Structure 1
């Protein structure tokens, strides 16, 4: 196993038309056999040609972010690849990734993917759990993300996806994530209603039925599920306290006027 890190020798290279070669991989990894490389990090190297990377057939994790890559054909032979970061490149065709049957985590933010149709070639990747086409932190996106039906189309293509663009779609954290979104939305609404005396009474952040805790089944993840519902219980208590405080504060201000 070997992970390639950015080094002074490569950082000093200003060429933005780099091709991955056997010599380059061997000199950077210290590995005589490319099949021995399981983890590879080659971000911001100015790579435009993936060259012989397909010979690293035992690669499991690959980071190629921040390059000038447009042709993914050499990746088709990487059957064991589970994590692939291709953010900040020039990719529009995802067809070669169809063969990466073990892919679980895929980052495509900051590329040139312009249509939902271009993503359908990935629909047969049964192990895919996480996919990212936009990253608000790094300000990376794709033209397809501007489509009003982008989110619904993605969920149609990847119905079993756990995380889309950093947002959890399923799993025990999904409800908590949605709760936080609901709370943020409600707080923004309250702040936009004008002076306190002109606002109606405080509204509930979520419906009462939301807080009906579900039973925890004794599965392998039973403890994690139980902890999650304990968090929901605490949030419920905080919700009630917050509503009381807001109501009392508004009554006090109104009585002063």
Structure 2
């Protein structure tokens, strides 16, 4: 859970009206809709609850443990609390419009801590671990973590960056499997001085991106069929490479 970017951890900053007005340029706290307070040493959320029209909030990389002031943010849709010291989530139960929640890099010890969020009807995306930033939570070490999360949040669409439901779920998994297969081939190195096979997509492809809710099922099915053909071609290519390696070995 330890990571760079927590320069402000040695401070004990409390959010004040003056700070918020200075950061946003707004004279009225109720006018603030977007707020980024990342890595500034916050340990006390202070008057942030007065920003009742806040929709997007980034509090990552601070020293926050008490979320009580967030309970009044009824319009909040996106909340980033990664890299803090949070162990309880009860106040977020009142954030009825919450859609995207990042809790990676905190102190959440069990799935029971997440149960207060189970009635948030709009919650689609939850992140408790982030392999890119090396953030996690103690609960993620539990062997039944994934299954328990899906039981508590049966309608969740994305968990820890992986699509759980929707028309693109199978397609996403096929793409990921193919990419893993091609990475294995690349790891063998070049053959006979020739460059090895290239990855069919960049690593950034697997970063979560907004998806259209009106995606055509027919288009997804067509793309799925094309990817199946690609997988067959990939297998044939692997056989050819293996035969080439054998031939080169025999020549030597």
Tell me the SS of whatever aligns to 1:110.
coil
TM-score by length of 2: 0.78
Deviations 1:183-242 (A, max 9, x none): 3566688999xxxxxxxxxxxxxxxxxxxxxxxxxxx8254x333223212212212222
Tell me the SS of whatever aligns to 2:79.
strand
The correspondence of residues 108-119 of structure 1 with structure 2, limited to 5 A, is 108-119=103-114
Q: Which residue of structure 1 aligns with residue 230 of structure 2?
A: 238
Q: Which runs of 5+ in 1 are unaligned?
A: 1-11, 193-219
Tell me the SS of whatever aligns to 1:62.
strand
Q: Which residue of structure 2 aligns with residue 221 of structure 1?
A: 214
In 2, Cα distance between equivalents of 1:58 and 1:110: 27
Q: Which residue of structure 2 aligns with residue 78 of structure 1?
A: 73
In structure 2, the CA distance between the partners of 1:222 and 1:164, relative to structure 1 (3 Å rule), is closer
In 2, Cα distance between equivalents of 1:135 and 1:172: 24
In 2, Cα distance between equivalents of 1:168 and 1:13: 33
In structure 2, the CA distance between the partners of 1:236 and 1:121, relative to structure 1 (3 Å rule), is same
Tell me the SS of whatever aligns to 1:45.
coil
Contact 2:9 2:62 in 1 (8 A): no
Contact 2:8 2:42 in 1 (8 A): no
Q: Which residue of structure 2 aligns with residue 67 of structure 1?
A: 62
1:36 aligns with 2:31: yes
Runs of 4 or more, structure 1, over 4 Å off, are: 12-15, 184-192, 248-257
In structure 2, the CA distance between the partners of 1:188 and 1:98, relative to structure 1 (3 Å rule), is same
Question: Alignment partner for residue 106 of structure 1, among 81, 101, 106?
Answer: 101
The correspondence of residues 142-181 of structure 1 with structure 2, limited to 5 A, is 142-181=137-176
In 2, Cα distance between equivalents of 1:14 and 1:241: 52
Q: Which runs of 5+ in 2 are unaligned?
A: 1-6, 188-212
Tell me the SS of whatever aligns to 2:147.
helix
- Between structure 1 and structure 2, the one with the greater Rg is 1
Q: Which residue of structure 1 aligns with residue 134 of structure 2?
A: 139
Bigger relative contact order, structure 1 or 2, given CA contacts below 8 A and separation 6+? Answer: 2
Contact 2:9 2:63 in 1 (8 A): no
Count of residue pairs the alignment pairs up: 218
TM-score by length of 1: 0.77
Q: CA RMSD in A?
A: 2.6
